[in-house]
Amino acid sequence: MNTSSIDLSGRTALVIGATEGIGRATALAFAAAGANVFAAGLGAERGRALVAEIRERGRGDADFMEADVTREGDVKALVESAAKRFGRIHAAVNNAGIEGPFGPVQNATSDDFDRIIGVNLKGIWCGLKYQIPHMLAHGGGAIVNTSSSAGVQAIANVAIYTASKHAVVGLTKSAALEVARSNIRVNAVAPGPVNTGLLHRMIEGHIDVSVIAGSVPMGRVSEPEEIAGAIVWLCSDAASFITGHVLVADGGLTVG
């Protein structure tokens, strides 16, 4: 999605899970639209490199804080830090996610379950828990949560991942209803296969990327920048009457 016409000058975007893949592309897309960006995630060195790139390429300023989304205190601290740094958070993106092991559901361990649900679901709940009160106190805002095509259609051999992404859809829709009259919009994106480390780690040794691409009606996997464009659009005034929506960006994968 081309977001070159979107102007977010004077606004601040909080992007969680911003050190690689979709999150990194989203932080850069917000910066290109003129927003200040407060990025968060794991990997301080990658975070510093992202801030440097935003300051070089973007029209706004940027900052970074390392945070583990499974720790509620970390998420609370980063929302407070972003607000202190830039005054107000206009848009928030809850993107942190992990893939989990590939294989039948009975082969997963209790640790696998706790880790996947902890990052992919609890992490987004933690974001909402602290972003919503901030936005309620400052006149509104827009939140986008990252689900997956696995959140709208089952995928074999990644059952816990699929369950976590289905849960993100339900969490998004319920939260949207709760704050719809408070000028806060809550939506989700559901990407199909994206050329990121997560995809490659998930299928390594099991399925070739070319096979995945061949299963997509458009004949390819997407690039992170394409999903980032959808996220920035959902946070912009162009999507002002959209809430509780799951924007599926999958090249037609789940149409059938």
Active site residues: 161
C-alpha span between 247 and 49 (Å, rounded) = 30
C-alpha span between 250 and 254 (Å, rounded) = 7
10 Å CB burial of residue 138 (0-12, 13-18, 19+) is: middle
Start-to-end Cα distance in the chain: 22
| Helix, coil or strand: residue 145 | strand
Question: Which own/partner contact pairs does 41-44 have at CB distance under 8 Å and 24+ positions apart?
Answer: 41/16, 41/17, 41/66, 41/67, 41/96, 42/66, 42/67, 42/68, 43/19
Of 107, 85, 60, 79, nearest to 15 (Cα)? 79
What is the identity of the amino acid at 167? A
The number of beta carbons lying within 10 Å of the beta carbon of residue 237 is 10
C-alpha span between 7 and 9 (Å, rounded) = 6
